[in-house]
Amino acid sequence: MRAPPAARLRLDAAAWRRYASRMENVTEPGLLDTISEVMKHRVLAVQDYSFLCARAVSNLFTQPRYLQDTIEQMDAIGVGSLPIVMLTGFFIGAVMVLQTSSQFERFGQTALTGDVVAIALVRELGPSITALLVAGRNSSGIASELGSMTVTEQVDAMRAMGTDPLRKLVTPRVIAAVLMLPLLTAVSDFVGLVGGFLVSNLQLRLGAVQFWTRAIDALEFGDLIQGLTKPVFFGFILSTVGCYLGLTVRGGTQGVGRATTQAVVVASVFILVTNFFITRFMLWIF
């Protein structure tokens, strides 16, 4: 039996009053509340990232170890990045000679070209540029690969089968990046010196003995330690950032795209910030 129209109107009015009273009690979040929530999410992200890094390192000392996965990642990160690293290193050395030769010619000190190219490449440009290139190529790839596995629930399937995803997916990539990035940096430094020598020989008429003797004599033990220590930290950063963003993907395929972009940006920023502190520490030691 349907209620009369007057009764329905009274019921609708009562429901509307209850809804209006509830809406009066709901307050819009203020600016401080929004900032607080954002900071909480950032702190939680740092905590989760630190936990992932600690687990990735601790897995090195326990069984099982996935050697085959590590070798495959070394091939993907090291050998796969070799062409772009060599090409970029060559032209960085060549450009450095072009930029400095005009100034050295003004003072008749063109022989210092080998010194400047060697020190700049080994200390700073070689490690930094190589790390940024590898981050752009491999951090995005790692985030995309692990993000796709997360979205398609392959990571959950690994947990269901008793396999630790951090040990299987993260640790091999961290080991591969830490081992291969110093080697890529050494190759980039050498190719950069070759590019600098070719431009010096063609433009400044410097002989091979003069260029290479001064370039080698300009390098000290501290320069070599600094140039080969930085890539170890950079490799750890670019691999762990890519793994973390890939394993924390949310939002389906769109989330995978966002994680891929964030991996490059975050890893590059971390590398540049860490480079400052490592450089300051190394200069204080040596």
Structural domain includes residue 89: yes
Structural domain includes residue 266: yes
Number of structural domains found in the chain: 1
In tens, the pLDDT along 185-194 reads 999 999 999 9
Domain range for 71: 63-285
Structural domain includes residue 4: no
Structural domain includes residue 94: yes
Contacts 24+ apart (CB under 8 A), 42-51: 48/244, 48/248, 49/240, 49/241, 49/244
Query: Is it the case that residue 257 has pLDDT exceeding 90?
Result: no
Structural domain includes residue 30: no
> What average pLDDT does the segment 93-113 reach?
80
Structural domain includes residue 187: yes
Looking at residue 63, its pLDDT comes to: 86
In tens, the pLDDT along 110-166 reads 778 888 889 999 989 999 999 999 999 999 999 999 999 988 888 888 888 888 889
The label of the residue with tokens 């070799």 reads: 82
Structural domain includes residue 54: no
Structural domain includes residue 43: no
